[in-house]
Structure 1
Amino acid sequence: MQNLHTALVALALDGQIKVSTAHSLGVLAAPTTQPSAGRFREMYDAAVVKPLLSFLRATGAPFMVNAYPFYGLTDDTPLDFALFRVGATGVMDAGSGLLYTNALDAQLDSVHSAMDRMGFGDVDVVVAETGWPWAGEGWEVGVGADHAGDYNRNAIRHLGSGVGTPLRPNRTFEVSIFSLFDEDLKPGPLSQRHFGLFHADMTPVYDAGIVTAPEYVGPVSSKITPAVAAPAPAPDTTAADSGGRRWCVPTPAADAAVLQENIDFACGQGGIDCGAIRPGGSCYEPDTLQAHAAYAMNLYFRSNGGHAFDCEFGHTGVVTAADPSFGGCNFT
């Protein structure tokens, strides 16, 4: 992902194309029946999720999740709750006191809670996949075209309505419906092979609200994209926010020793104050060479006029249009 982003930066396409990757809800340790308890799996959180979220924040890319209430059906998550049929009564999250009226909100807010715990609540979440099987084994609860149609129509209405979730109110979510066609060679239960919206001859399996009149579907976000895999990249706002500005950051493959040399060099120049990356400073966390080097190299770059050659650093620096600032850490 870092190498792809670096290649996009070199082509001045990083403002238009964001790099991310999708995750199943298996990244979570806590069940989604109590969204406020959501946390990432132990060890996976520090080794994979934290550096990933740092990268997404720095590049303005979203965290992508595959959310399937169908696979969360239990006594605590009944069919009506998964299909948006609970109504105003809902299910109370004892930890937060928030009321949940559908399972998809609960799954997404479990991810939001996990991200909040790690200090990355400002990173956007995209629903890379969601859907419902229209056929399955006799013992599989909830399978059927009627249920699949209800779920997908309601998910599209809800995620595109601007209502948001209890933890993230007043917002829309980009979402891709899985999947365009059945996958007849997929292993596992019969339901695994029957998520398709269309048969092979292009006739619809059921009305998912994709090809019907908007007034029937209800308010739908323009971001909704029926897709087989990941959705189109989220609309970029970095270019508008940056006002044409550029920042200098280290290349992802830069050697640790070289990054330390870059920090020492930049912070040793007259008139450059690197106090922000010292203990207690606003940019000290995350305490990594990559993060500290990014701040120091950018400070040198900005202090010397922002020329491309001021970000050379022996081929270990790259100019980007994505503002790496986060929280109280401002890359001026």
Structure 2
Amino acid sequence: ALTKAGFSDMDIIVGRAGWPTDGAVNATSAIAQSFMTGLVNHLARKSGTPLRPKFAPTETYLYSLLDEDQHSIATGSYDRHYGIFMFDGQAKYHVNLGQGPMALKNALDVDYLPSKWSWLAWKCVICLQQLLPAA
């Protein structure tokens, strides 16, 4: 599609990739782990598409590192469960993000910020959305 549109040399950035672990029928830790393992392996091979097999994304952002217990569920309750870690920093499954066979480390002694910070972060997101041009 990019070649047809005249952008054959454009870098590809995957804005966010992930799989939820709860909130829907196929949202499980096992499927999320399988998805993430497949994604990481695919990116490590630097393989692209059937038309352009050597053209892989130059950047990929995982969605998300942590579950977000205050995230909107307007599209479904699964939206709160994309994290590799639960909201308290406990790993939900194993994925090799460069650490080899070692398991992900769980957060210890998590100190929670007062709820005002969650509200402030949400207000900042809303402000940014108002400032950015619509897609």
TM above 0.5: yes
Which fold has the larger relative contact order, with Cα–Cα distance below 8 Å and residues 6 or more apart in sequence? Answer: 2
What displacement does 1:212 show?
4.4
Relative distance call for 1:211 and 1:145 in structure 2 (3 A) is farther
Give 3-state SS (helix, strand or coil) of 1:172's partner: coil
Residues 69 and 87, structure 2, Cα contact 8 Å, conserved in 1? no
**What is the distance in 2 between the residues matched to 1:171 and 1:202?**
35
TM-score, L = length of structure 1: 0.28
- Residue 18 (structure 2) aligns with: 131
Which residues of 2 match residues 164-313 of structure 1 at below 5 A? 164-173=48-57, 174-188=59-73, 189-210=76-97, 212-213=99-100
Relative distance call for 1:211 and 1:202 in structure 2 (3 A) is farther
Give 3-state SS (helix, strand or coil) of 1:117's partner: coil
Give 3-state SS (helix, strand or coil) of 2:48's partner: coil
TM-score, L = length of structure 2: 0.65
| RMSD value, Cα | 2.0
Q: What stretches of structure 1 move > 4 A for 4+ residues in a row?
A: none
What displacement does 1:206 show?
1.1
Structure 1 gaps of 5+ residues are 1-112, 215-332
Which residues of 2 match residues 37-186 of structure 1 at below 5 A? 113=1, 115-136=2-23, 140-173=24-57, 174-186=59-71
Give 3-state SS (helix, strand or coil) of 1:160's partner: helix
- Residue 123 (structure 2) aligns with: none
Give the number of the structure whose alpha-carbon radius of gyration is greater: 1
Give 3-state SS (helix, strand or coil) of 1:129's partner: strand
